[in-house]
Structure 1
Amino acid sequence: MTTNTPLSPTARQLWLRTRWFLAGGAGLLLAGLLVAGLGDNTSYPSLDPRSPDADGTRAAVQLLRQRGVTVTTTGNPADLAAADAPSGGDTVVVPLPDLLTADQLDALGRAGHRRLVLVSPGPVALGHLAPGVQALGTTDDPLALGSAGTDADCTLAEAERAGHAEGGGRLYQAGPGTTACYPRSGHPTLVRTTGGSGGEVIVIGSGRFLTNQRLAQDGNAALALGLLGSQPRLTWYLPDYSAAAATAPQGQKSFTQLIPAGWHWAFLQLAIAAGLAALWRGRRLGPVVSENLPVVVRASETTEGRARLYQLGKARGRAADALRRAARRRLAPVLAVPLVHGEPSGDALLAALTARLGEGRTPGELTALLYGPPPTDDDALLRLADDLDALERQVRQP
């Protein structure tokens, strides 16, 4: 009796197969929600006066406010022009002047500030705001050194009061009418000059001495307060650098450059997770599990099905070859004829059959039976099968 077993897995089997994947997914989802809910996503760029991070400048701003300096931030050049009253003046700090467009640099130069502090400017920014100072190297390959404690070695009052402080970053070439301070390798890292509107321009190679992490080292705090606190108002210029970058000419980017940086980490995590899942599923963690066969088929049905295929294809030759080959392989062990590559030698097999059967079978009859031509019709194929069966019985019971 044939038993039919359903192929579709049951609900219990589905649960047993997927429960660990569901548990892992739930854990990842919970971890993501916790990180999103508890983490502080507020991030600031380097030298931002609102940032409490190590590279922020909130500590310097707090010290300036304690000294009575009004500190504001703006991203609009028009606000800088409005803040410059005839009776006073202000200090403007630009942390990333190279990221500004030419129009933004020109608007900044026309603002009429009393003191402009440029942090690590390149040739383009210096050409608009401090023509008397030249940056060593190029925009793509600037000449710069790491920050280190350096003597002032100049007559600038703020530098003389601060004394030994950190100098480094970009190196500059000071022109006539400028004051060069904190030299490194023979080139200054702080230069004072006069801008096109008549105000002071302070060029510093690196703003590391202004950061929360380094403010208390050497004379960094005194230098920061002197450079930024000389006027009653301090304006920290924070324009929309993304808009400036968008207006600048951009070369053609590749597909990978268009993918946000966070997605690269996401793809890496997915690849690691897929690799771990493959390793987990690739090795057995328990005994071999027997699987239910879809149906049970008798050997006779398989034989009959194959025979019907031969019949439909009229492949009498292939059927005859299969019958003769199987008969030769069964007769060879009985007659002690060795098999070479799964087939006995024809001469050895015929000699052994002749010796076993004697005059009952002639050599020509045996050759035609075991190695003869294919049958011409179905009746001849049936006679061949009967003759082979009779030969095997005769050999086994002579």
Structure 2
Amino acid sequence: MTVTAAVPTTSESRTPLQIWQRVRGLLLAVLILVIAGVALAAARSGGQHGRLDPRSADPYGSRAVAEILKERGVSIDVVTTLDEAAGAAGPDATLLVTGPNMLTAHQQRRLRTATAGSAGRTVLIAPGGPSVARLAPDIRPDSHGPVTARPPLCDLPAARAAGTADLGGIHYATDLHGATACYPDDGSASLLVLPGQEAGDTVLLGSPDILYNDRLDQQGNASLSLQLLGSRPHLVWYLPSLDDPSAAAGTAADRGNSGDDGAEGESGFIGLIPSGWLWGTLQLALAAALAAIWRGRRFGPLITERLPVAIRASESTEGRARLYRKADARARAADALRSAARARISPLLGVPPRDADSSAVLLPAVAARLSTPGSDLGTLLFGPAPADDAALVLLTDQLDALEREVRTS
């Protein structure tokens, strides 16, 4: 007769069912995220959601002011490259630069050159130090302040007509003759108008809040926004883009400049990211942390693991006996033998398992069961350790004999 031995599976190999049970939760979570993302993209695919985007109806978009300007006859062109912005600048146009800090030094110099000789208006939203040095050299950023309702405190007709408005952010100072400083804080203006050639001018806004959808109906924000952006029949709304080809020009030269440019560019890039994406990233990070906690290793109770090979009980017993013999642990071996014998005979005598190691309970039960007790049961079941190996072997034989007698009696 031929016996075919089954090849045991190792603990490393897993069946398809085990693999499915392990990954199905993660796959379900990924599927839910994909479906939610597709549904959200489909629901919002029809609109723009960038900060200061005139097509965006989000709280930080600027669709409201753009629509009002259109109703008043102002044409609006949304451009994303420097070439388009510079080409559209002219005496009958207002150029709104929503992210001057996003521009490279080369782009800022080109923009300055394109608008310097124009009779139109240029509106710069919150330009920082390096940006101001290239776009408005006669101005210096002075301080930062909170965006709050401020009175104009200046003679600019647009500011006086608008009254109190939500301004703040970067404050500017200048010694240029003819400049108009409005909405000041500690002597520095959060709205500064610089006269240019002919009838042109440059407007610096310390913060973009008056253009946001959720703030347009507060204070005099709407009036001030419409007058600053609607003074010409044409408005060029410049949203700097990271993929503008002009950004690559002069990059090698810009790298040698101060590290402030890089910091401003990074701040501008973050400013272009819609707030919903930032919250979505935070939620994904939280979901990843919860998944890591869920799938992480825990130190729980011991479980039985399927071993690569099957070990016979006799081999385990022999191996433990050799360890006891090598360590000369007769006392430990004797305790193990006596404990096992008591555990086996106690059910035969009707003794509860909890009382198997109690001599006061077990010994009377054994004595009552055996008609002719031939040895001292107390010494046999609860006695001291054997003095030598021969005594240990004798103890083993006596325990076996006692167990057989209890079973047969």
The question of whether the paired residues in 2 share the 8 Å contact of 1:94 and 1:119 is answered with yes
Distance 1:190 1:161, change over 3 A: same
**Which amino acid letter does the alignment assign opposite residue 153 of structure 1?**
L
Partner of 1:104: 107
Distance 1:245 1:156, change over 3 A: farther
Separation in structure 1 between the aligned mates of residue 161 and residue 327 of structure 2, nearest angstrom: 111
Partner of 2:28: 27
Separation in structure 2 between the aligned mates of residue 144 and residue 33 of structure 1, nearest angstrom: 42
- Matched position secondary structure for 1:213: helix
Q: CA deviation at 1:289?
A: 9.2
The question of whether the paired residues in 1 share the 8 Å contact of 2:98 and 2:240 is answered with no
Q: Are 2:300 and 1:297 aligned?
A: no
Counterpart among 95, 98, 102 of residue 95 in structure 1? 98
Distance 1:289 1:165, change over 3 A: same
Separation in structure 2 between the aligned mates of residue 242 and residue 263 of structure 1, nearest angstrom: 23
Separation in structure 2 between the aligned mates of residue 200 and residue 133 of structure 1, nearest angstrom: 14
- Matched position secondary structure for 2:108: helix
Distance 1:272 1:155, change over 3 A: same
Aligned residues: 326
- Matched position secondary structure for 2:137: coil
**Which amino acid letter does the alignment assign opposite residue 101 of structure 1?**
T
TM normalised by structure 1 equals: 0.64
- Matched position secondary structure for 1:225: helix
* Runs of 5+ unmatched residues, structure 1: 137-142, 253-259, 311-317, 350-369, 371-383
Partner of 2:128: 122
Q: Are 2:184 and 1:183 aligned?
A: yes
- Matched position secondary structure for 2:84: helix
Q: Are 2:92 and 1:83 aligned?
A: no
Counterpart among 33, 51, 54 of residue 56 in structure 2? 51
CA-atom RMSD, angstroms?
A: 4.8
Q: CA deviation at 1:132?
A: 2.6
Separation in structure 2 between the aligned mates of residue 75 and residue 25 of structure 1, nearest angstrom: 40
Partner deviation per Cα, 1:76-120 (whole Å, 9 max, x = no partner): 3333343345xx421111122122122111111122441000111
Partner of 1:149: 149
Q: CA deviation at 1:17?
A: 5.7
Q: Are 2:66 and 1:61 aligned?
A: yes
Q: CA deviation at 1:325?
A: 8.9
Q: CA deviation at 1:199?
A: 2.8
Counterpart among 258, 279, 290 of residue 272 in structure 1? 290
Q: CA deviation at 1:296?
A: 7.6
* Runs of 5+ unmatched residues, structure 2: 263-276, 339-375, 402-409
Q: CA deviation at 1:334?
A: 3.3
The question of whether the paired residues in 2 share the 8 Å contact of 1:151 and 1:182 is answered with yes
**Which amino acid letter does the alignment assign opposite residue 95 of structure 1?**
T
- Matched position secondary structure for 1:171: strand
TM normalised by structure 2 equals: 0.63
Q: Note the 1:372-387 alignment, pairs <5 A.
A: none
Partner of 2:345: none
Separation in structure 2 between the aligned mates of residue 322 and residue 155 of structure 1, nearest angstrom: 103
Partner of 1:39: 40
Distance 1:51 1:272, change over 3 A: same
Q: CA deviation at 1:338?
A: 6.7
Distance 1:306 1:186, change over 3 A: closer
Partner deviation per Cα, 1:314-350 (whole Å, 9 max, x = no partner): xxxx6795789968998997399974xxx57xxxx6x
Q: Note the 1:1-398 alignment, pairs <5 A.
A: 8=9, 21=22, 23-40=24-41, 44-84=49-89, 88-111=91-114, 112-113=117-118, 114-136=120-142, 143-175=143-175, 176-195=177-196, 199-241=200-242, 244=247, 247=251, 249=255, 266=284, 269-278=287-296, 282=300, 297=312, 299=314, 334=379, 339=384, 370=388
Separation in structure 2 between the aligned mates of residue 283 and residue 190 of structure 1, nearest angstrom: 68
Separation in structure 2 between the aligned mates of residue 320 and residue 224 of structure 1, nearest angstrom: 92
Separation in structure 1 between the aligned mates of residue 383 and residue 54 of structure 2, nearest angstrom: 94
The question of whether the paired residues in 2 share the 8 Å contact of 1:144 and 1:169 is answered with yes
- Matched position secondary structure for 2:133: helix
Separation in structure 1 between the aligned mates of residue 203 and residue 178 of structure 2, nearest angstrom: 13
- Matched position secondary structure for 2:214: coil
Separation in structure 2 between the aligned mates of residue 280 and residue 336 of structure 1, nearest angstrom: 42
**Which amino acid letter does the alignment assign opposite residue 57 of structure 1?**
S
Q: Which of structures 1 and 2 has the bigger CA Rg?
A: 1
The percent of aligned pairs where both chains have the same amino acid is: 33
Distance 1:303 1:157, change over 3 A: closer
